Chain A
C-alpha cells in the first residue's frame, strides 16, 4: 500500500479554478484507490506563512505531490494528475 500526499494550493476562500483543480485531484484519487494507492488530498492556503516558506511564491492553483510542486497556474485533467501521482508512488 503506497501513500502519496497531494496538496492543492490556492487562496482562501478558494477561487473557481482552484476548486476545479481540487476536483481533478479528487477524481484521480478515487481512481487510484482501486489501484491500491492511498492519496491524501490536502487543501493548502497559498498565502500562509508555511506554504510560502516551503515553496516560495506560487501562482494559483498549484498542486504539490509529495512536497514537490508539479503544477502551477493551471487546471490539470484528472488523467494527468493520476499519471503524476503514479510516478510519485513508484
Chain B
C-alpha cells in the first residue's frame, strides 16, 4: 500500500512539473510583447560602446539577454524532447526496419525526429539500419533527417524564429533526406556498400533471440524522461553557451549593410548554404545565429538555406565516413547542399523574401 501511494505522489509531482512547463510557455506566448530593440541598442542603452569594458561586456550581456527571454523556451524544448524520446515506441523501428524499402524510408522519416536528439544514438542507428537489410537509402534518409528536423531544433526554431520557418524546415529536410537516400541507393558505390553489409537470412539466429522490451510504471517513465532531458541539457548547453559568446560578438559588430547586401537574393542563398554546412555550429547555435542574421536583414530564403546546413557539416560527415565510403559521404553532401539551395530559392520566392 505504501509503495502505491509513493508512486502516486511521484507521478503527480512529475506530471505537475511537465504541465507547469507547458503552461509557462503558453503564458509567455500570450503575454509576450514584440520588441524591436536589437542587441546593439541595448549596448548603447548601457553606454557601453565607448567603454573599455565593451569586449568583456558583450558575451556576458548577450548570454544574459538571450537566456532572459529564451529560458522558458529552452526548458520547454528539453522537457518535451525528453518526454517524447521516452514515450515514442522505439520497438517499432526494431520490428519493422528491414521489411522492404518503402517501409524503411517511411520509418526513417517518421522516427528520426524523435529518436535522435543525441548524436550518440544516431550513428549506431545508421549502422543498424544498414545491417538490418533496409538498405543504404533509408539509412542515409535517417541520417540526414535526424539533425535537420529533430524535435529539439524544430521546437527552438519555431519558438525563437517563427513557426513558418520551422514548418518549411521540416518539409524541406524531409524531401532532401528522401531524395538523398534514393540517389545514394542508386549509385554503384551505394549498391556496393549495401552488398557488403547484406546480412544473410537470419531466421536461425533470431529463433533464440527476441526483443521484448519491458515497460516500467508511469512514474518511473516520467522520471526517466526528466532525467533524459537533463542529460540532453548537460550535453548541449555548454557548447550552446560557447556558441552564444561568438554570436554575441557577431551581433554587435556585423553591420546590417553587409548582411543586407550579401545575405539576400540568389547570392545570399548560395553564401548561406555554404556557410551553414561546413562551418560547424553546435546544435541550437545555428538557430541563435540565424535569428540574429535574420533580424539584421537576411532574407527568409537564405535563412532556410542556412538552417538546412546542419546535416552536412563536417562532424557528421566524419562519423559517417567511419562506416560508409567517402564516395557516399560526398554524394549525400552534394545532394544536401543542392537541396538547401533549391529550397532556399523556393521558400524565398513563395514567402516573398528572397
> Measuring CB to CB, which residues of chain A are less than 8 angstroms from any residue of chain B?
10-11, 15-18, 46-47, 49, 52-60, 64, 67-77, 80, 84
Q: Is the CB of A74 within 8 A of B228?
A: yes
Partner of B208, one of A16, A18, A67, A71: A67
Partner of A49, one of B129, B131, B209: B131
Other than the known A16-B231, A54-B206, A73-B115, what 17 A-B pairs have Cβ atoms closer than 8 Å?
Answer: A47-B124, A53-B199, A53-B202, A53-B205, A55-B209, A55-B211, A56-B206, A57-B128, A57-B134, A60-B124, A64-B209, A67-B208, A68-B209, A68-B211, A71-B213, A80-B220, A84-B214
Q: Is B42 an interface residue (CB 8 A)?
A: no
Q: 15 A-B Cβ contacts within 8 A?
A: A46-B128, A52-B127, A52-B128, A53-B202, A54-B202, A55-B211, A56-B132, A56-B211, A60-B124, A64-B209, A67-B210, A68-B210, A68-B211, A75-B227, A80-B220
| Chain-A contact segment, one of B21-29, B47-55, B83-91, B240-248 | B83-91
Q: Is the CB of A52 within 8 A of B199?
A: yes
Number of A-B contacts (CB under 8 A): 110
| Chain-A contact segment, one of B92-100, B143-151, B157-165 | B92-100
Q: Is the CB of B125 within 8 A of A57?
A: yes
> Measuring CB to CB, which residues of chain B are less than 8 angstroms from any residue of chain A?
85-86, 90-91, 93-95, 97-98, 115, 118, 120-121, 123-125, 127-129, 131-132, 134, 199, 202, 205-206, 208-214, 216, 220, 224, 227-228, 231, 323
Q: Is the CB of B210 within 8 A of A69?
A: yes
Chain A residues whose CB sits within 8 angstroms of the CB of B210 once the complex forms = 67-69
Ranked 5 nearest A-B pairs via Cβ: A15-B120, A52-B131, A47-B127, A57-B128, A69-B211
Chain A residues whose CB sits within 8 angstroms of the CB of B208 once the complex forms = 67
Beta-carbon nearest neighbor of B115 in chain A = A59
Which secondary structure dominates where chain B touches chain A? helix
Q: Is the CB of A57 within 8 A of B120?
A: no
**What CA separation (Å) do A68 and B210 show in the bound complex?**
5
**What CA separation (Å) do A78 and B296 show in the bound complex?**
52
Q: Is the CB of B128 within 8 A of A47?
A: yes
Partner of B120, one of A49, A53, A60: A60
- Closest-CB distance, B209 to chain A (whole angstroms): 4
- Closest-CB distance, B228 to chain A (whole angstroms): 7
**What CA separation (Å) do A71 and B221 show in the bound complex?**
12
Partner of B205, one of A11, A54, A57: A54
- A72-B124 contact in complex given A47-B131, A67-B208, C-beta closer than 8 Å: no
Partner of B214, one of A18, A70, A77: A70
Chain A residues whose CB sits within 8 angstroms of the CB of B93 once the complex forms = 57, 59
- Closest-CB distance, B90 to chain A (whole angstroms): 5
Beta-carbon nearest neighbor of A20 in chain B = B231
- A69-B323 contact in complex given A52-B128, A74-B224, C-beta closer than 8 Å: no
Q: Is the CB of A57 within 8 A of B129?
A: yes
Beta-carbon nearest neighbor of B213 in chain A = A72
Beta-carbon nearest neighbor of B322 in chain A = A47
Q: Is the CB of B97 within 8 A of A57?
A: yes
Beta-carbon nearest neighbor of A70 in chain B = B214
Chain B residues whose CB sits within 8 angstroms of the CB of A16 once the complex forms = 120, 231
**What CA separation (Å) do A55 and B127 show in the bound complex?**
13
Chain A residues whose CB sits within 8 angstroms of the CB of B323 once the complex forms = 47
Chain B residues whose CB sits within 8 angstroms of the CB of A74 once the complex forms = 86, 224, 228
Q: Is the CB of A73 within 8 A of B90?
A: yes
**What CA separation (Å) do A53 and B127 show in the bound complex?**
12
- A11-B94 contact in complex given A64-B209, A68-B210, C-beta closer than 8 Å: no
